[in-house]
Structure 1
């Protein structure tokens, strides 16, 4: 996403302010954010002139800051660290946490390691779909290749099942003697 100010650089800073239920957003590159007075060590109100003009109402501070009765964590601490202190904080700071979560861009999906069984199952499903497409297109050489790969993936489970069946055929009484 491009910077809303210079419209040239990629935006690396996202600012969202809600005043009287109206949300205003700004995407800025690092240079423009710094040029307009936003520094990660400075509070957000320094950008109010850039974002909302001089007539923007100053946000009201609550007379008493929310504090978790269980661990003593304050709302300002949560806003600073984005971490909650204890299970009770989830109830106390529910509104702040919801606002924070809404500001995070959506994650495209899991990016960590995938368990081996799930990876094999996904590969098997992909191969079966490709096999069906090859058969539908009457590409039988490709279908045979895919069938063989599917058999290789299913191999260990099939061999165990077949081995158990073979043992039952050899010893139908099941007395443990082979």
Structure 2
């Protein structure tokens, strides 16, 4: 199929453009797609910039960290490398390992908002994961123990305490 604009080159791009309910379709070559004002995708949709990692990260950080906190957070600077939170938000890169310490409140709130948690909860390597599995079991059991004590379920709390001791003995 030939390009509908120049009628010389092979049409390699099919464009469907809907503006105010009016649908326009065109089959054009790549050369005309770049030159055409009518189908200028870069200006119409701004394809190149809106989906960059930095823009998505900045938008998420603005959304999660409300504007009252955002102005205070934007002024934070890493004492080690001098990177500002604003630079991190724009570039999507931290300046050094110390930046994590300085920007952690903002980073953790974004991670928690996106992933639902700030700790990895997923698959664990079979070979080296036994200690980690036991550690996670103990943490869960300790939470259950606190709940049982708060609800004054002392028999259940004693059972949970014994389970924790058994796991601790296994690890030693």
TM-score (norm. length: structure 2): 0.27
Where relative contact order (Cα < 8 A, 6+ residues apart) is larger, the structure is: 2
Higher helix share: 2
The structure with the largest alpha-carbon Rg is 1
The TM-score normalised by the length of structure 1 is 0.27
